[in-house]
Structure 1
Amino acid sequence: MTDVGMTAVNEAFGRALDAVNAYLNHWLEPLGLLADEVSAAIEPASVGSLRDEDLAGLAEGMIRQLEASPDVIGHGFVAAPDVMSGLEHYLLWFQRRTNGIRRLKLNLSATDPDLYDYLDTDWFAGARRRVGPVLYGPYVDYAGADFLVLTIAVPVMVGERFVGVAGADLDPDAVESALVMRLRNLPGDAVIVTEDRSVVASGSARWMPGERLAAHPSSEPDGWLAQAALAPWSGWSLALAAPA
C-alpha cells in the first residue's frame, strides 16, 4: 500500500478509535454519578452499621436510569464486606425483565452453599484492586441476570475506604450493534477484541462475536494494517486487517 493509502487508513482508523472510545466512556458518566450518590448517602462513621433503609433513597434514581437506557439490563450498588450491618454481602440492584423493572433478589446468606459470592468476581475484585472502572464480559451471569451480559463497575469510596461498586449490566447484542456502526467506514476488516482474544464486535463476516483470535493483535502487530488499545479500563483493542 502506498504512503498516501496508509495515511488515509490511519486517519480513518483514528476516527474509529475515537468514536469507539467515546461510546465506551459514555457509560462511565451514570455510574460515576451513582457512585457519588452512594458515597454522599453514607456517613463515614456509619460504615459497618448501615441498613437497607439507609440507602432506600437511591432506588428511584437507579430505576430512572434503567428506564432511560434500554441497553442497560441491570443497575445498582454492590457492597463490600462489613459495610452493611451484620452482612458480608449486599446488593441494591434493579433489573429489567419482561414484566418490568424489579429489584434483584439473590441468595446472599453466608451459610448457604448457593450463596451468590460476588467478592471474587472480575468486575468487583477488579474495581477494588484498580480503584477505577473495569469492564468484564460478555459472560453468562447464571446467578444474577441468567443470560449473557457485559458488566461495568466503578468503585464507591467513602473517604479513603472502598465500600463497594456502582455497576451496570449491558446487553451485549446492543453493545455489538453500536460498535459495528462505528466500524462501518473503515477501509478493511475491523475487529474489537478482549485481552483474552475474544471477539466482541466485527465490521465484517470474517470474525463472529465470541470467536477467539489465534493471537492478540498487540502480540503480532505486523499482521494488521493498524491496531491500538481502546480505553485502558476496558481491556479491549481495535484492529484493522486488509479485506480478506
Structure 2
Amino acid sequence: MTQQPSAAELAQVRAAVQDLARHAFELTGRVAAELTTALETEATPRRSHLGAVERLVQPVLGDPAHPVQGAGFVAAVGLLEDAAYWLEWFAADAEGRVQRLVTHSEPQGIGFYDYESLPWYVVPRDSGHPHVTGPYVDYLCTEEYTLTFTTPITTGGRFAGVVGADIAVPRAEQLLLPPLCAARARLAVVNDDGRILSSNSGHHVCGDLLPEGWRTSGSAHAIEGLPLSVVTMAD
C-alpha cells in the first residue's frame, strides 16, 4: 500500500517550493517595476535605457547564498529602436563572477536566438501573469536542468517583454530535498506537464514524466499560485 504523506509533511514541501519561487519573483518584480517606469519615459526606447537591469540583478547574482544564478530582461520584438530582438541578461559563472550573456540578435545571423516561441516568453505574454517554466535543459546558458521564472511588463498598454530569473535544479534541490526527505511517503514535485522537478526517491529523477492520469489519481496536491504540484508516488 502506498504510504500517504501527513498534512504537515505536504505543508512543509509546499512551503519550500513557494519560498524558492519567492526568491525569484521578488527579483523579477523589482526589476519589472523600475524598468517599466524607465521605459514609459522614453518615446523610442533603446538598449541604453535598460541600465536598471544590471544594477538590480548584479548584487543578487553575486550573492552565493541566493539561489538565482541568471536574470534579466527579454524585450518584446520591435520594442527597442536599435534592436528588434534583445536579451539584457546576466549570469554568474562557476567562480561567481557576473557576466553579460551575449546572444545573436539578428534574425539573419547564424545562431540567431529566436525566443518568440519559448514558453517562458509566450505564456506570460499571452496570460499577463507571472509564470514558471521547467524543469528544462537550458542549452543557452548552463546546459543543465533549470527553472525560469518570468514576469511580464507593459508600457502604455502594450506588452514590452518579460523579466526573468533562472534557478538551476541542483540549487533548487538544496532547498527542496530537506522537506522531501523528511517525509515518510515517496513524494515528487512536478510541473503541470507531469515532469518531475525533484523527489525523495532514486526511482523518480528530474526530467522524468509521470504517466497520464496523474492529475486525477488523487495523489496530486496543487501548490497555490504556481504551475507545480506535490505528488505521492507509488511504493
- In structure 2, relative to structure 1, the CA distance for the partners of 1:15 and 1:101 (3 Å cut) is closer
Counterpart of 1:77 in structure 2 is 73
2: CA distance between counterparts of 1:127 and 1:89?
17
Once the two structures are superposed, residues 34-72 of structure 1 have per-residue CA deviations (whole angstroms, 9 ceiling, x without a partner) of: 1001101112552xx222222224322221121125532
Counterpart of 2:58 in structure 1 is 63
Counterpart of 1:166 in structure 2 is 163
1: CA distance between counterparts of 2:129 and 2:41?
20
2:230 maps to 1:238: yes
Secondary structure of the residue that 1:142 maps to in structure 2? coil
1: CA distance between counterparts of 2:213 and 2:25?
26
Counterpart of 1:155 in structure 2 is 152
Matched-pair contact (CA < 8 Å) for 2:74–2:89: yes
Matches within 5 A, 1:40-51: 40-43=37-40, 46=43, 49-51=44-46
- CA-based RMSD of the aligned residues comes to 2.4
What amino acid is the match of 1:114?
G
2: CA distance between counterparts of 1:148 and 1:18?
22
What amino acid is the match of 2:166?
D
* Length, aligned pairs only: 232
2:222 maps to 1:229: yes
| TM-score, normalised relative to structure 2 | 0.87
1: CA distance between counterparts of 2:12 and 2:136?
29
Once the two structures are superposed, residues 143-166 of structure 1 have per-residue CA deviations (whole angstroms, 9 ceiling, x without a partner) of: 344443221110012242210111
Secondary structure of the residue that 1:129 maps to in structure 2? helix
Counterpart of 1:203 in structure 2 is 200
Bigger radius of gyration, 1 or 2?
A: 1
Matched-pair contact (CA < 8 Å) for 1:44–1:158: no
Counterpart of 2:48 in structure 1 is 53
2: CA distance between counterparts of 1:218 and 1:147?
27
If asked which structure has higher relative contact order (CA below 8 Å, sep 6+), I would say 2
Matched-pair contact (CA < 8 Å) for 2:132–2:148: yes
2: CA distance between counterparts of 1:191 and 1:175?
13
| CA apart distance, 1:180 | 1.4
2: CA distance between counterparts of 1:76 and 1:201?
25
Counterpart of 1:115 in structure 2 is 112
Counterpart of 1:186 in structure 2 is 183
Q: Which runs of 5+ in 1 are unaligned?
A: none
Once the two structures are superposed, residues 10-44 of structure 1 have per-residue CA deviations (whole angstroms, 9 ceiling, x without a partner) of: 34323432343233234211110110011011125
2: CA distance between counterparts of 1:115 and 1:165?
19
What amino acid is the match of 2:50?
L
* Percent identity (aligned): 26
What amino acid is the match of 1:77?
F
